[in-house]
Amino acid sequence: MTRAVSALVISLEYRLAPEHRLPAAYEDAVETVLWVQSQARDPTGGDPWVAGHGDFSRCFLMGSSAGANMAYHAGLLATALELLPLRLLGLILNQPYFGGVERTPSETRSEEDIILPLRANDMLWRLALPMGADRDHEFCNPAVAVPPELRHLPSCLVKGYEGDPLVDRQREFAKMLEREGASVVALFDEGGFHAVELFDPATAEALFAEVRQFISGGC
């Protein structure tokens, strides 16, 4: 993807549940954004590769699946920060991992899904959410309580596939962003499944092309 979109990609290592429940991963993502800002403020004392090749005026947060959930929440937290000279231009949310207490039709159909069966999906949320929280917690179900920071988000690309058990959540999420006045590019393809781009090179290449178009301002 780095080659396909001509971007410098910084991948973070973050604390994992259940030892470190949410929002630990969100906090680590924001720390990474602040690290990039520190490179922009002092390029001579920072990482020479980032300083020499990065364009700090054109930064994007991207994640797939749980990573897209992280990118969204880190983007919300970042709206309260003074990031200059770094400029965050967009969020790229590939098959964002959201949920809720009430089942959607796509979740109900996923009891035997090969990638994300329903019981595994429920277990992952039990392990990741704060102790005592259910799937209508804001970390899981952003539609329950719209955060005021949402209107300050940069442009968002939301990508999904009809074969993903979470596709109904992703559509609902994209519509919520639009209702709240966010700039949204919602791309939903027929077929596919959760994390399909990891298994199908053609789908991966198509995703890279959509990301490239989005970051170039073409979407």
The residues that are catalytic are 65, 164, 194
In DSSP notation, 90-108 reads: EEEEES-----SSPPHHHH
Contact by Cβ (8 Å): 171, 104: no
Contact by Cβ (8 Å): 149, 91: no
Strand blocks (E) in the chain:
59-64, 88-94, 155-161, 184-189
Compute the distance between CA of residue 114 and CA of residue 198 in angstroms, rounded to an integer. 14
Hey, what are 149's tokens? 């920071």
